[in-house]
Amino acid sequence: MSLINLAQPSQDLIQQTTEQGVLSLNDIEDQIVNVPGGKDFFNVIYAKIGRAMQDNDTEEQAQLHGELIRLLMGNYDSIELITASTNMKVGKIAYYVDTTSGDVPLKFPDPTTFTGEFFIKKIVTHQNKIVLSVVTGETIDDLFVFNIKKRNASFTFKSDGSNYFTH
């Protein structure tokens, strides 16, 4: 793996990650592989960075690099790549959702027993959406169903002990 250092001062997230500049992809890989699901996620993003480099798309390279750093700094218990209906796990988990093959329903666990947070991001431009609901019928921001339609749209969700809300 080659070392790619995308020190772009226009990218605040990247710039803030270390006092001396930017973490390289090698630095990120060394740390993210310790998170369950991290290695698979890193490989997906690394491949996308490679395509962006071939296209000379430095903005996309910096955005993808920033996404890896965001995960690293979030101290997530695990990183999940989702393509089909899933009952979400309890914990501090980052879900990256690919809706290429259709709408992807995600069901939150009972909010009365949940402590932690979920980070959810749609990673493709396809028209299909992420459909969020709670297994037990409670709400998400006062909605029984919460849809995520736009590419790169992301939300962090937390429980208040009876329902979920975006944070």
* pLDDT mean across residues, the chain: 75
The distance from CA 105 to its chain's CA centroid, rounded to whole angstroms, is 16
Q: Which of 108, 111, 101, 112 is nearest to 145 (CA)?
A: 108
For helices 58-74 and 38-54, the axis angle rounded to 10 degrees is 160
What lies within 8 Å, CB to CB, of 129 at 6+ separation is 99, 103, 104, 122, 147, 148, 149
For the stretch 86-114, pLDDT in tens is 998 888 888 889 898 999 999 988 888 88
pLDDT at position 74 is 67
23 or 45, which is more confident?
Answer: 45
Residue in 37, 34, 10 with CA at minimum distance from that of residue 22: 10
Which tokens belong to 161? 């002990």
DSSP one-letter code for 161:
S
Q: What percent of the chain has pLDDT over 70?
A: 69
pTM, rounded to two decimals: 0.68
Q: What is the dihedral of CA 82, 61, 118, 80, to 10 degrees?
A: 30
Helix pair 25-32, 58-74: axis angle to 10 deg: 30
